[in-house]
A and B are shown apart, each in its own frame.
Chain A
């Protein structure tokens, strides 16, 4: 009997609690994606409004944060698309092949470890949204290429290229800032 009631009516979520618990993470995601503190605050608020409006669609099998971050990603990417003249931000350019030339900076496992988190985040922020967004989804949200390709609406292979390229750019920026440090 109790089960039947529970099945009919999804357990009402305590939104006050959800909001207080997850606000910071949602806000940080929005900040990463939108690159603007003001816009991020608006977006985070809107995300919770949307989440509240469609609580029914929440699948309790998955963590709540995953669901919230997905709403946030979709919303922010929608905003980015709306802002940009070209709606296809993440599509491949003419010169960009699936198999990019294996050149340039190599992975900086050790260097990166030595970097301070702030420097990495600053370098990330300096990337264009084309590379910033996939990196954030992959490493902040820890989404699979499949999930990212769903959100961005591009092929999975394109996601791989974007992340590979994005990391290349990131290394470059970090290398530049390191060079500057050394010059001082």
Chain B
């Protein structure tokens, strides 16, 4: 017999050759010293491999973590539920005791109805969008196209490659780089001639004044015969504009004369000059100082309006607070938090106020109201309980189904995004902390990015991802809950978890807080889980 191949010898050495073949090889070995040595070398190698691989059990010192059995795991789900509900209750109770059923001021931003901050952000975003209209539109179109293509490509590869997270993440990173870099590089900052108008200059036409990359403040000291449309960080109008003024800026100061109407959107709007017709101000703070004179109506919307000057016709104000100390020719309408009429205030017509509480309207001695005073309370007609309407339940079902479909797609595309090993209270606490950081830092980063012009596309993208994360986080928590309770991973367990979560976030009184806590925990756990999936490489030394 010819010498068997090395492969045959190797399999023979392992004792894995079929019997007949093994007999033949054994016979051959009796006469062939070369093959005999090969086989014994293979045997030695196998022995050494077994020894070296198994030695790890003796050499390594392994800390055995405490065993969380399945019964304790389901207990931890109960613990989790109790923890979340308990935390929500405790928070709610303590805040109601301390702050009379209101969130502390520092936490007011958590309140989605807190529209003042929203207004500020919206105004700023609008300003920057308008300031850079050309670049922003180009960037937005580009971003949308790339986003669509990117999503399609991502789903496509996920389909083709089934479940390759690595390929998906590499692709996602590429898409993200493509998305974020191109618009910012594409922005070419060009602004018209000097936007500020010196006192000596008179312009016969309408003016659109925009700042450039360096000079953000615009000072209109000269005379404009037409209208003025102006954007900037700080806009000061000390000259004369015969037509209307439309001003968008962080801060708008009007000390000059506006022949037409003044439309101002800003964080702070100060008017001390003359406005021939109406004044419309949307700003966090609207101040009409004593010297201000508005020929028509004054309309303000914002957190705080202080009206000291004179308005020939009506004053209409909505917002957190109206402090009226000046003279209003006709009626005053107010809707919002608090209304104060100072001693020097004069109202030529009626005073109408719509507030939460009667005592929120304070009228100082000396204030004159020529007409009738009419205070309406917001709380006069209590809304019927939402739990009594059919549409409410229909909407909740729609909500569950929508989340269910989203969840199915999410876990189909990214099966690795599931929560694992979060069953101790400590893990949840960690997740909550990380979630809080994610929840807080991203909007802050968004605002910082949004005020730098080139950052706007990145800011909008990150905001979109943030919003998506908030939505998905609850689905991920629901999936975890369903899986832990039913002990299987299926569409049913996802659905069960979602129903549980939707019921929990709709509980009266504490539902909103549970929602918030679930978002925190979900975001945090999601971040940890994604981080863990990513950090699988680099296994230096066992």
When chains A and B are docked, how far (Å) is the Cα of A140 from the Cα of B48?
Answer: 11
- Which of B64, B532, B535 lies at the interface centre, i.e. has the most chain A CB atoms within 10 A of its CB? B64
CB distance from B348 to the nearest CB of A (A): 74
A140 lies within 8 A of B45 (CB): no
- Asked if B134 lies at the interface with its beta carbon under 8 angstroms from chain A, I say no
Q: How far does the alpha carbon of A32 sit from the alpha carbon of B328 in the complex, in Å?
A: 82
Q: Please report which residues of chain B, range 413-438, place their CB below 8 angstroms from some CB of chain A when the two chains form the complex.
A: 415-416, 420-421
Using Cβ atoms and an 8 Å threshold, which residues of chain B touch A160? 7, 11, 16
Q: Which residues of B contact A84 (CB under 8 A)?
A: 164
Within 8 A of A (CB), among B120-171: 161-165, 167
> Which residues from chain B contact A106 at a C-beta distance below 8 Å?
6, 38, 41
Interface presence of B105 (CB below 8 A) = no
In the assembled complex, A183 has its CB within 8 A of some CB on chain B: no
Within 8 A of B (CB), among A105-143: 106-110, 112-113, 115, 117-118, 120-122, 124-125, 135-136, 138-140, 142
Given contacts A109-B41, A109-B45, A139-B50, contact A52 B70 (CB under 8 A): yes
One of B54-62, B80-88, B91-99 at the interface: B54-62
A176 contacts B by Cβ under 8 Å = no
Which residues of B251-294 are within 8 A (CB) of A?
A: none
Is B395 part of the binding interface, using a Cβ–Cβ cutoff of 8 Å?
Answer: no
Residue of A nearest to B51 (CB): A117
We find that the number of chain B residues with CB closer than 8 angstroms to chain A is: 53
Please determine whether B56 and A109 come into contact, CB atoms closer than 8 angstroms.
no
Q: Which of A82, A99, A140, A145 contacts B53 (CB 8 A)?
A: A140
Any B CB within 8 A of the CB of A10 = no
A85 touches B44 (CB 8 A): no
Smallest CB gap from B538: residue in A? A36
Contact with B along A81-116 (1 / 0, CB 8 A): 011110100000000000110100011111011010
Let me know if A45 is at the binding interface, CB within 8 A: yes
**Bound Cα distance A53, B486 (Å):** 13
Q: Which B residues are CB-close (under 8 A) to A139?
A: 46, 49-50, 53-54
Contact A38 B11 (CB under 8 A): no
A49 in the interface, Cβ–Cβ < 8 Å? Answer: yes
CB neighbours (8 Å) of A52 from chain B are: 69-70
In the assembled complex, A20 has its CB within 8 A of some CB on chain B: yes
Interface contact B11-A112, CB-CB below 8 Å:
no
Minimum CB–CB distance from A74 to chain B (whole Å) comes to 16
Tell me the complex Cα distance, A83–B161, Å.
Answer: 11
Whether B5 contacts A99 by the Cβ 8 Å rule is yes
Q: With A36-B536, A145-B14 given, is the CB distance from A42 to B421 under 8 Å?
A: yes
Is A23 an interface position by the 8 A CB rule?
A: yes
A131→B261 CA distance, assembly (Å): 79
Per-position binary interface string of chain B over residues 5-42, scored 1 when its CB falls under 8 Å from any chain A CB and 0 otherwise:
11100110010100000000000000000000010111
CA distance A171 to B415 in the complex (A): 36
- Contact: B16 with A136, CB < 8 Å? no
Q: Which residues from chain B contact A138 at a C-beta distance below 8 Å?
A: 14
User: By the criterion CB–CB under 8 Å, are A27 and B62 in contact?
Assistant: yes
Asked if B542 CB lies within 8 Å of chain A CBs, one says: yes
Query: Does B52 count as interface, using CB distance less than 8 angstroms?
Result: yes
Contact A82 B163 (CB under 8 A): yes
A145 to B49, CA, bound (A): 16
Q: Is the C-beta of B412 less than 8 angstroms from some C-beta in chain A?
A: no
Q: If the complex has contacts A82-B163, A102-B6, are A110 and B62 also in contact, measured as CB distance less than 8 A?
A: no
Q: Are A99 and B68 in contact (CB under 8 A)?
A: no
Let me know if A15 and B57 touch, CB within 8 A.
no
Interface residue ranges, B against A (CB under 8 Å): 5-7, 10-11, 14, 16, 38, 40-46, 48-57, 59-60, 62, 64-65, 67-70, 73, 161-165, 167, 415-416, 420-421, 487, 532, 535-537, 539, 541-542
The 10 closest A-B pairs by CB, nearest first: A109-B44, A102-B6, A85-B164, A107-B41, A109-B41, A85-B161, A120-B52, A139-B49, A117-B52, A112-B48
Name 13 A/B residue pairs within 8 A (Cβ), A-sorted.
Answer: A31-B542, A32-B53, A36-B539, A41-B421, A45-B421, A49-B69, A49-B73, A99-B7, A109-B43, A112-B45, A139-B50, A160-B7, A167-B45
